Every structure is written in C-alpha cells, then in structure tokens.
Amino acid sequence: TSHFNVLGIETSCDDTAVAIVNSSRQILAESIRFQHNLHEPAGGIIPNVAMMSHQRNLPEVVCDALSKESLDIVKDIDVIAVTRGPGLPGCLAIGLSAAKTLAAVLRKPLIGEAHALTARLTHTELIPFPYLTLLISGGHTLILVTHGVNKHTQLGTTLDDSIGDAYDKTARLLKIPWLKGQGGGPGAALEQFALDGTSDNYRVPIPMRKDPRRKNEMNLSFSGLKTSIRDLIEREQLDLEDEKVRKNLAATFQQTAIRHLIDKLELAFDWCRVKEIRLNALVISGGVASNKSIRASLEKLANDQFELPLICPPPRLCTDNGAMIAWAGVERFRVGLKDDYTIDHAPKWSI
C-alpha cells in the first residue's frame, strides 16, 4: 500500500487518546479525554482510577476520532497502532486489548509501538536519520542515537528516578498547585512557578559531577536532586509558607536539572563525533520536553556549540498522545514491521 491511514490508541498513563494519521504525515483526527480532575486531589496518578477511567472512556474516544472526519473503521483505517509501553501495566492492557480486538476482528495489521519518531511527523520537513534523541518524560530519561525507524543506540538512561518523577516529587515537596484545566501535571505547574523565581540565591550540586567514576558516563541521575532541595530547606530552615521562597526553590531545581541534561548531552555529542556519526538534529520529546526553559537551554546548546537545529514536537504532542502512536505505526508499517495479535504490554519498554 502506498497510501494508508493508521488509527493510534494511547492509554499508557492518565489520558485516553486516539488519533488517525496518514502516510503523508497528516493528522486527520484526534480525540482525547483527560483525567486530570480525578488525580489532582491525590497529588499523583492513582493506577486503579486511571485504569477504570480508560475502560469507561476508550470506546467513546475511538468513535469520536472516527466521526470527526466521518471515517469508517472498516473502509478507511488500514492499520491499528497502540502503545505497548512504557506505562502503567493495567492502563496499557486496556488500550492493548481494545487495539488487538479491533485489529483481529477487522483483519487489520497491528503495531505495538512507543515514541522516538514523533518529530518526523510534526517538523516542517521530514528529519533525516541519524539524529540525537533526548526522551524526557515520566517513564523515560533516555539519550539515543536514532539511526532509523527501528534502529537506536542507547547512550544513556537514568540510574534511578526519571526526570519527570523528579519534577513531580519536587512539585509535591514544594506544595505547588496543579494548573487548572491544563495537561502537564505537576511538572508543568513547577515550570510555571519557577518563572517568577530565581536560582541565584541557592546552590545545589549538579548530579554526578563530583563522582569521578560516573561523571564521564552518559547515564543520568535525578533522585539526588530532590534530596538536595530537601536538605537545603532543612539546612537553611527555609520557610515554605513563603511563596517567594518556594518559587526560588523551584527555579533552583529546574536550573540544576537543565545543567545536568547539558552535561550529559555534551558527552553524547562528543561520543557521536568520535564515532563519526554525522547528526542532523537534536530531537527532544516526552512530557518534560514541553518545558520552555529546557527547550530554550537545549536550543542554545545545539545551535551554538554543535551547529545543529533543536527540534521538538509542539507541547501537545510531546506528552502521551494518539498521534505519536499512530505515526510510529505509519513508520513501522512502511518498513514492513507488524506485530502478532498476541503481543503483550511492556510496562518497562525502553524506547
């Protein structure tokens, strides 16, 4: 098939998302149901609640996406794609069993995929391989060389918490309220909070710099950062009732996280240079990549030091979404990759 449409289903975490993308890089339809209101009171995602909400909403979200462009699932959809991981096992299982049943009954190919290719859908031109990918979300903290659709070299990953976890835990420590009616959870709220703060007043160590064994490796570490912030609060007996103090702490956390990302990306660029891999871009994706301060700093790094463009999907398509899954389905189907109807969820899938 030269032209085809893919229906993508994404239920890995808290949002139920479906999109239809065609092989000419057009997003035909998107439908999403947020669960934000269900989880905010608890300050984090409650797996059972998320699972039940997917179960309730998914059929309607699928129908809604199809009806937006009056598409018929039998005639107009050629491939079903779904997130296999990473994510919450129970949540992944709901999307996966829906996708498998649709694919099996309709006799359509099934593709179980996660991200890393979204920027090739959203950027004005198709980005040629290879490029350096930084995947930063609640489930990932990965530095990869993306050589092709199914070909990645993992240069580094987190040794402990993901960067998204570090944002979420720090947001909770600093009692930062979630943004009303917007996605992005605690991380986006921390970003907003940090805008009015300054990182000039406090010093916290940049992860791994002082460790002679680890400082030259491309892996990352984020668990110590939250602890450093907590220690700082205790040591200086900072008053968390004071909003200015909390804003400064948020800015300090964020600035330190960015410095750590830059340290490791510099090592990754050097590694590619030594291996004579001619990169075409730095691509960042994942929920945390919608952070504007991170984008601005990494854009400066890529442009000024390495003469590469920084490419990132629009924030809406950085977080879990149906279009990225549908697009991964397009890319994989085109090179002949298909999955069996018996595939399982993969909660710890790395890419």
Binding stretches for ligand KG4 (CB under 6 A)? 13, 137-139, 164, 167-168, 184-188, 191, 286-288, 290-291, 319-320
Cβ 106 to ligand KG4 shortest distance, Å: 29
Cβ 221 to ligand KG4 shortest distance, Å: 16
Cβ 341 to ligand KG4 shortest distance, Å: 26
Question: What does the alpha-carbon distance between residue 141 and residue 128 come to, in Å, rounded to a whole number?
Answer: 23
> Which residue's CB is nearer to ligand KG4, number 17 or number 27?
17
> Which residue's CB is nearer to ligand KG4, number 34 or number 271?
34
Q: Which residues contact 240 (CB under 8 A, 6 or more apart)?
A: 174, 175, 233, 246
Tokens of 177: 């309220």
In 3D space, the residue among 100, 144, 96 whose CA is nearest the CA of residue 264 turns out to be 144
Pairing state of beta strands 5-10 and 79-82? parallel
Cβ 65 to ligand KG4 shortest distance, Å: 19
Cβ 250 to ligand KG4 shortest distance, Å: 11
Which strand (E) or helix (H) includes residue 310?
strand 310-311
Cβ 138 to ligand KG4 shortest distance, Å: 3
Query: Is the preceding omega at residue 315 within 30 degrees of 0, hence cis?
Result: no
> Which residue's CB is nearer to ligand KG4, number 78 or number 191?
191
Cβ 220 to ligand KG4 shortest distance, Å: 15
> Which residue's CB is nearer to ligand KG4, number 221 or number 291?
291
Cβ 87 to ligand KG4 shortest distance, Å: 7
Residue 87's region, left for phi above 0, alpha for psi from -120 to 50, else beta, is: left
Tokens of 168: 């979420």
Asked whether 51 and 90 are in contact (CB, 8 A), the reply is yes
> Which residue's CB is nearer to ligand KG4, number 142 or number 245?
142
> Which residue's CB is nearer to ligand KG4, number 71 or number 262?
262
Q: Which DSSP letter does residue 294 get? A: H
In 3D space, the residue among 68, 123, 51, 122 whose CA is nearest the CA of residue 321 turns out to be 122
Residues in the chain: 351
Question: What does the alpha-carbon distance between residue 213 and residue 250 come to, in Å, rounded to a whole number?
Answer: 29
In 3D space, the residue among 267, 167, 288 whose CA is nearest the CA of residue 223 turns out to be 167
> Which residue's CB is nearer to ligand KG4, number 66 or number 189?
189
> Which residue's CB is nearer to ligand KG4, number 13 or number 82?
13
| Number of H-type helices and E-type strands within the chain | 12, 10
Tokens of 45: 């995602």
